[in-house]
Amino acid sequence: MYIDGLPSDKQPGLYVRRVDGQVLTDDEMIEYYSNPAKSVKRDCYIRYFTGIALITKQGTFTKELYDTPLKLSPIPNKNRKHNGNPLDVISLLVDGRYFNDLTDEERVSQDRKGEQEFTDFIINHLLMWDE
């Protein structure tokens, strides 16, 4: 995970829930990560990256997947219900809705793009071995 406006030494990277050696609760995460949006004088975005590595006899193949950036809100959604990621309550979509307010259908649609890229990557490399 990468957050616009945070210095490189404060970027969460893989360790989103760990800050300065402490494991944060959901509420602590929401408070901690809403602060950058309060402190910068411009829109602040949260970006998720996924790296894939496929290691075979033919070589090592890698791909980076990038989710659509979400605007980081300084004000958490009053609806604190989320499906696994507490930061969904401070992540805003382009249309201004909080990510955690998506319907199940909308959330599945959001996930499909990344899943399709992942699947295409694997299939393309498997097909390469058939040639």
pLDDT digits (tens, 9 = 90+) for 12-25: 888 899 988 899 99
- Name the one residue in this structure whose structure tokens are 């249309």: 95
Q: What is the pLDDT of residue 109?
A: 83
pLDDT, position 90:
95
Q: What is the mean pLDDT of residues 34-53?
A: 85
pLDDT tens profile 89-99 = 999 999 999 99
End-to-end CA distance of the chain: 37
Domains of the chain: 2-130 (3.90.950.10)
pTM above 0.85, yes or no: no
**CB distance 75 to 65 below 8 Å:** no
Q: What is the pLDDT of residues 69-79, one digit of tens each?
A: 999 999 999 99
d(CA 90, CA 112): 22
Nearest to residue 83, comparing CAs of 64, 63, 109, 101? Answer: 101
